[in-house]
Structures are given as structure tokens and as C-alpha cells.
Structure 1
Amino acid sequence: MNANRNLPGHLQLYLTGEHDCSYLDGLRARTLFVDPMARIDRERAQWLQQIGFRRSGMHFYRPACRGCQRCVPVRIPVSALRLNRSQRRTAARNDSEVRIAFKPAQLRPIHYRLYERYILARHGDGDMADDVSIETYMRFLLSPWGGQTWLIEAFLGERLMSVAVTDVFPDGLSALYTFFDPDLSDRAPGTYAVLTQAREAARLGLRSLYLGYWIEDSPKMAYKERFRPIEAWDGQHWRWFERGEPIRVL
């Protein structure tokens, strides 16, 4: 890896060599990440998030691929969110039967067992399934990073339906990762987790729910653009897109 440049606030960036793209077959990717030895507090993490970076464990990164800008950071302005018909049905069905609980970012066996089932069922053909373990789970989702993280549980009766790993920033929440019971997919637990996080952000008076990267050509990312209005980072500004508007930032 090679040193790239300094960010404001004296954060050094590093650029990886090329590797296979995790999202689109046949493409090569590079990743720009913040010096892992740097001190990242909540305010600095928020600033990184506002310019398109994401967190994975203790690392803050963003794609920096040659000739490709398909990974588009997106966020929901929660006070303006208007649900479509499918999202309203998901909310109505789950609101009447699902119990939500907020937990600190600590290892719980019930969470890890669900995570393992989810990865093997939904990503069994990918790199994550090759390295599924308690150690990688903790490193990916439970690493301390200088800010606050919630584990938002959704229970259907006594059955754990989903866990949404959520970072808390001064300006919003960040949907870091959600895993759910594959046998309850008909309840759209991923969509319901986003709605739960958006509601909580609004309740707290926060502006945004950050959803990470949206990729137009990736079916796994398609759900993100269904939340409208949505904002997308074009490298300089967050641009607003209403329902029916294609997300175009180039």
C-alpha cells in the first residue's frame, strides 16, 4: 500500500493495490483508507462520513477504483422520508408484532449465531463465508472506534429476527450492517431495519440515516434507492433525488 495524501485534520490516507471487486464480477477495485493508527473521535468520524467514507471495524475507507465511480454514498433525510406502498406494508405488518430493543456493541452468542446463519445463507458464495468466525465478526462489527455503536434487535415473539449494527453521529445514524433470520425474509427484515433506524434518527432530532454505498448494477444494493427522497454524494456535495428520479452524480 502507498501513502496518498493528507486530509484536513492531519489524517494520512493510504491506497491499496488492486483487488477483485466485492460487488461486481470481473472488475478490479482499489480502496483508500485512513491511517489505522490515527485517533478518530466521533466528530472526526462524522466528517469522514460526510465526505463519503465508511467504517469497517476500526478502519475508515472509501473506494478509489481506476476509471470507476459506481459506488455512490447515499443517505436518507429522515424528516422528509415518504414510504412507498411496499414499505408501508412492511412497517404495518412488523409494527404490530415485532419488539425493538437497543443494546451496546458487545458480543452476544445469540447475535453471532444469527450472523453466521445469515452469512452462510445469503453470502455463501462470497469471501465473507470463507472467513466466518467469532473473531472476524467481532473485528468487523464490534471493534471500538472512538464513537458509539448500537445493536438494534428486532424480535418476533421470542425469536430474534434481525440485528442492525448502527453508529451514532452528531448529525445522524449510520446503518453499518444488518443481518437477519433467512427464514423470515418474507417480512422484509432488512427494509424494516432501515425504517427502524430512520424513525430513531428522527425521534432523536438527527438529520440523516447514512446507508453506505449504492451501486446501480448490484442487485444486493437495489433496496437503498427505494427510500425517497434520498441524497447522494457526488464528490463535492450531497445531491437530493425525489421518487422517480434516477440517481446520477457524474
Structure 2
Amino acid sequence: MRHSLPLAPQFYVTAPQPCPYLPGRMERKLFTALQGDNAPKLNDSLSKQGFRRSQNVLYRPSCSECAACLSARIDVRSFQPRRSQRRTLKRNARLERRVASPWATEEQYDLFRRYLDDRHADGGMADMDVFEFAAMIEETPIRSRVIEYIDRDTGALTAVCLTDMLDDGLSMVYSFYEPDLHKASLGTWMILDHIDIAREAGLPYVYLGYWVPGSPKMGYKAQFNSLEIYLRGQWQRLKEPAGFEADMHPLSNDPIAEQVANISLPDTRG
């Protein structure tokens, strides 16, 4: 099924499949190809409209049953770490950041496999082999970086994040870490470090992907203050995450053709 705008790119819709976040629900995605000379501008523009990148595709949830998945980002300028997050920063002070071009290594894949086997053994990426992993890291038509975190005491690769550079922030595409270090809160720590990177670069936002109220897998994102969600076509500050109710009504989403018609595309002339 295809829906197109008067100008490229063209948008498509995936077939419904079981939702990985909310049991008993079906998910569907609206997506478009990310390619060519204008890929960076398209990625910047659609990221501001709730889209996420996966290799050379941009996608956004467009489920027919609900609208629970909400794109989330942190306002770097007003963010202040909580007491528990300050403890997380101190706990991981021995980790050293190393930024590199998007190139996959065997060391990264070994860590990735340990992480998946421990945390997401039944997830959609559980069977990803080394070649698919390399494609995830390397197939990017925009400015991306692999950010590695090395233990200064042991030299061990402890955490990794594939990060996109947007014109208004950093987008954490995918991260993984040493699963044995349960008490280190490495997922939280990487977000905190990306906030520092964004501040150093003068960028206002860190994009975290989707927050799904009611999903334990995504609950950690609501622990960050200054969190904004993309709701009804605009970014809004999430004030009380605990009291926020996901929109589960089957008529929550506009028809696909209307969704596509309301997408703003970047000016690629000149």
C-alpha cells in the first residue's frame, strides 16, 4: 500500500504485526526511504515530526488500534539530573568516551550478542548475525557516529551507542552495554553522557526514540526531567509521566493519506 506526496519522497505502510511493547496490540509503521544527496535534510526534518531512522529508512508508528507510541526527546538546556542520576554519573566515572566513524567491529558484536542474549533473547533482533549487525552500524546515508565507552581500569569495551547528528540535536539510534553490570545503570548513563555531548556541541535536544506509557521496556525514559513528547503534531513537555494515559482508542490516528499530507518536507532547492 503506497501513499505519495506531490513531491518525493514516497511513503509506505507496513503490514500489521504483533506489537513488541503492549501485549494484545498490533503495530503498523509509516515509512519512507532515506537516500540521495538530500538525506540529511530529510532526516533532520522528519525527526522533528516523530520519525526515527533504521539504516536507510525513516519510520513512525501509525497503528490502526491506538496511538500509544510517542517520540521523546530531552530539552538539554533545562535538564537537571536527579539525585539517582548524579549517583549513576559518579558510579561510571571510570568510563572513557571514544567517538568513531560508523564502522562495526568484532568486539562490538560480541558485546551486542551478550546484551541481546541477556536482555532481549525473544526480541525481533535476537537472531541478528554479524553481517546484519554491520549493516545496522554502517548503512547510514547521514552523519552518524559510533560512541564507545571503555573501562579505563581494564580496557574493556563496556557500552556502545550508534548516534545520528541532527541539526538540532543527537539521536540515539541504538545502544547496548555489558549486561553483567546491572547496578551500573549503563543505559541511563549513556543518555546522561549524550546530554553532555549535546551541551558541548551547542545542540538543544537528545532524541531517545519512542516512549510507550504502560510498557516496562520504555518506562526508563520518563525518569528524565525536561522530557518532551511529540503529541498531536507538536512537541509538548511531559509534566506528570505517572499520570499520563496512553491514547488506546482505535480512532486515535488520522487516515494514512491525511497523515502523509500533513508531513512537512524540507526545501531541497539549491
Give TM-score scaled by structure 1 length.
0.92
1:167 Cα deviation after fit: 0.4
The one of 213, 216, 219 aligned to 1:216: 213
Answer whether contact 1:232 1:249 (CA < 8 A) is retained: no
Q: Which residue of 2 aligns with 1:31?
A: 29
Letter in structure 2 aligned against 1:188? S
Q: Matched residues in 1 for 2:113 and 2:234: separation?
A: 37
The one of 94, 100, 114 aligned to 2:111: 114
Secondary structure of the residue that 2:125 maps to in structure 1?
A: helix
Task: Find out whether 1:189 has 2:186 as its counterpart.
Answer: yes
**1:122-161 counterparts in 2 under 5 A?**
122-129=119-126, 131-145=127-141, 147-156=142-151, 157=153, 158-161=155-158
Q: Which residue of 1 aligns with 2:68?
A: 70
Task: Find out whether 1:4 has 2:3 as its counterpart.
Answer: yes
The 1:39–1:30 alpha-carbon spacing in structure 2 relative to 1, beyond 3 Å, is farther
1:235 Cα deviation after fit: 3.0
Answer whether contact 2:13 2:28 (CA < 8 A) is retained: yes
Q: Matched residues in 2 for 1:75 and 1:35: separation?
A: 23
Secondary structure of the residue that 1:202 maps to in structure 2?
A: helix
Count of aligned residue pairs for this structure pair: 245
Write the deviation string for residues 37-87 of structure 1: whole angstroms up to 9, x where unpaired. Answer: 666521210101000000111111011101310100010011111111111
Moved more, 152-161 or 63-72: 152-161
Query: Tell me, which stretches of 5 or more residues in structure 2 are unaligned?
Result: 248-270
Letter in structure 2 aligned against 1:44? L
1:247 Cα deviation after fit: 4.5
Letter in structure 1 aligned against 2:10? Q
1:173 Cα deviation after fit: 0.3
Letter in structure 1 aligned against 2:143? Q
Answer whether contact 1:162 1:189 (CA < 8 A) is retained: yes
Letter in structure 1 aligned against 2:221? K
Q: Matched residues in 2 for 1:245 and 1:26: separation?
A: 22
The one of 2, 19, 22 aligned to 2:17: 19
Answer whether contact 2:34 2:43 (CA < 8 A) is retained: no
Secondary structure of the residue that 1:126 maps to in structure 2?
A: coil
1:171 Cα deviation after fit: 0.6
Letter in structure 1 aligned against 2:128? V
The 1:56–1:193 alpha-carbon spacing in structure 2 relative to 1, beyond 3 Å, is same
Secondary structure of the residue that 2:53 maps to in structure 1?
A: strand
**1:47-66 counterparts in 2 under 5 A?**
47-66=45-64
Q: Which protein has the larger Cα radius of gyration, Structure 1 or Structure 2?
A: 2
The one of 148, 152, 177 aligned to 2:174: 177
Letter in structure 2 aligned against 1:155? I
Letter in structure 1 aligned against 2:74? I
Letter in structure 2 aligned against 1:190? G
Say which structure is richer in strand. 1
Q: Which has the higher contact order (CA 8 A, sep 6+)?
A: 2
The 1:94–1:105 alpha-carbon spacing in structure 2 relative to 1, beyond 3 Å, is same
Task: Find out whether 1:166 has 2:163 as its counterpart.
Answer: yes
Letter in structure 1 aligned against 2:57? H
Q: Matched residues in 2 for 1:151 and 1:171: separation?
A: 19
1:154 Cα deviation after fit: 1.1
Answer whether contact 1:234 1:249 (CA < 8 A) is retained: no
1:249 Cα deviation after fit: 7.9
The 1:10–1:199 alpha-carbon spacing in structure 2 relative to 1, beyond 3 Å, is same
1:139 Cα deviation after fit: 2.4
Give TM-score scaled by structure 2 length.
0.85
- Matched-pair identity in %: 32
**1:237-248 counterparts in 2 under 5 A?**
237-242=234-239, 246-247=243-244
Write the deviation string for residues 17-49 of structure 1: whole angstroms up to 9, x where unpaired. Answer: 111112222211111100466665212101010
Q: Matched residues in 2 for 1:73 and 1:229: separation?
A: 14
Q: Matched residues in 1 for 2:55 and 2:89: separation?
A: 30
